[in-house]
Amino acid sequence: MQFIDLAAQQKKIRAGIERRIGRVLDHGKYIMGPEVFELEAVLAEYVGVPHCITCASGTDALLMALMALDIQPGDEVITVPYTWISTAEVIALLRAKPVFVDIQPDTFNMDPDKIEAAITSKTRAIMPVGIYGQCADMTRINAIAGRHGIPVIEDAAQCFGATHHGRKSCNLSAIGCTSFFPSKPLGGYGDGGAIFTPDDALADKMRQIRIHGQKVKHQHPLVGINGRLDTIQAAILLEKFTLFPEECEARARIGRCYDTLLAEVPDITVPVIAPGNTSVYAQYTILATDRDALSATLKSRDIPSVAYYTAPLHLQGAFAGLGHQPGDFPVSEHVAAHCLSLPMSPYLTQTDQEAVCNL
């Protein structure tokens, strides 16, 4: 059994992927070729915003978003400690300060009740994360941010395709960012990412930032990065997107099946999907009273599992300078100590699910 079965998907669309790559090889526009702009148009329409700016990775998407908001050294950006390091890493790269707030114990996403106390005169952005496939409570987060005049950047690396009160992820704030890392719900065959915004000026600025701050060729009015998505990756993503809506439905169905199969298993807590949310289950993540024992049991039956983010960011050496101690964010620490992700992909069979859940 595969933890994430990419081969089953490839089998369905291999011929189409090869045709699209062949067209790129024929026209030879490997950087900023027509497939890049086609993909941006397709994804912008899907999300429901005017602007999609593809880029080289989900990390670059977050970095470009912060740069577009002119985040400066000493500024503060509120985010969560229970996430992949990219979320806080990009803040630190700009010499700004990540300000952590704890997560909710059921969704594992940013706790809106904790935000207001973290806002200071130096707060320049709020960056919630849609962990494991569902959006954070963007309605409440946006309301708090709006009262203080603070922009919100949605880190939707894991929840692209999910909805919050009927609106797609990446269409919920000033800027939405996602990742096309191969294991993501919409993943390429290499690194990639995208940024979404309804704001014309921000979109123009991020397009400049993506190409070394270049407005017109050889003219660089601002500092940027080399953040372009390769044309071949865009071609692959275009073909993979033909399956994406049905795969999101399959992920939701498989998630519900897991919920049912695990409902009566002792010492396990299944993930909670908040009212008004849908999830694309980038991972199906449970809490286990004895995670190590459960993981070992699964491994003995050749069933893979993964414990993500076992050391929250506030306890990582990279952020030691912030001065945090164990106990500062107890919910994040509890989830980090007990979380376990089970096999998940749109092609996971019920037979395999039953084998996983036969505990």
How buried is 109 (Cβ within 10 angstroms: 0-12 exposed, 13-18 middle, 19+ buried)?
Answer: buried
Residues lower than pLDDT 70 in the chain: 359
Please say which residue of 193, 224, 241 terminates a domain: 241
* One domain for residues 168 and 284: no
Nearest Cα neighbor of 47 from 170, 136, 194, 204 is: 170
Contact 231, 30 (CB under 8 A): yes
* One domain for residues 353 and 214: no
Tokens of 185: 């719900």
The question of whether 299 is a catalytic residue gets the answer: no
* One domain for residues 169 and 302: no
Give the three-class secondary structure for 147. Answer: helix
In a domain, 95, yes or no: yes
According to the model, what pLDDT value does residue 358 have?
82
292-301 LR contacts (CB < 8 Å, sep 24+)? 294/268, 294/340, 294/359, 295/340, 297/359, 298/342, 298/356, 301/355
Determine how many CB atoms are found less than 10 A away from the CB of residue 225.
16
According to the model, what pLDDT value does residue 59 have?
98
* One domain for residues 111 and 177: yes
According to the model, what pLDDT value does residue 81 have?
98
**What is the distance between the alpha carbons of residues 286 and 227, in angstroms, rounded to a whole number?**
35
Please say which residue of 202, 226, 241 terminates a domain: 241
* One domain for residues 208 and 159: yes
* One domain for residues 347 and 227: no
Tell me the C-alpha to C-alpha distance, in Å, between residue 293 and each of 265, 286, 288, 297.
14, 14, 9, 6
Which DSSP letter does residue 220 get? -
**What is the distance between the alpha carbons of residues 230 and 24, in angstroms, rounded to a whole number?**
10
According to the model, what pLDDT value does residue 254 have?
96
Q: How many structural domains does the chain have?
A: 2
User: 3-state secondary structure string, 72-105?
Assistant: CCCCEEEECCCCCCHHHHHHHHCCCEEEECCECC
In a domain, 186, yes or no: yes
* One domain for residues 267 and 227: no
According to the model, what pLDDT value does residue 309 have?
96
According to the model, what pLDDT value does residue 126 have?
98
> Of 184, 205, 215, 240, which is the active-site residue?
184
Tokens of 160: 């692209």
Nearest Cα neighbor of 205 from 55, 95, 71, 65 is: 65
CATH at 131: 3.40.640.10
* One domain for residues 202 and 262: no
- What is the span of the domain harbouring residue 189? 6-241
* One domain for residues 188 and 158: yes
* One domain for residues 252 and 213: no
According to the model, what pLDDT value does residue 195 have?
98
According to the model, what pLDDT value does residue 295 have?
96
In a domain, 1, yes or no: no
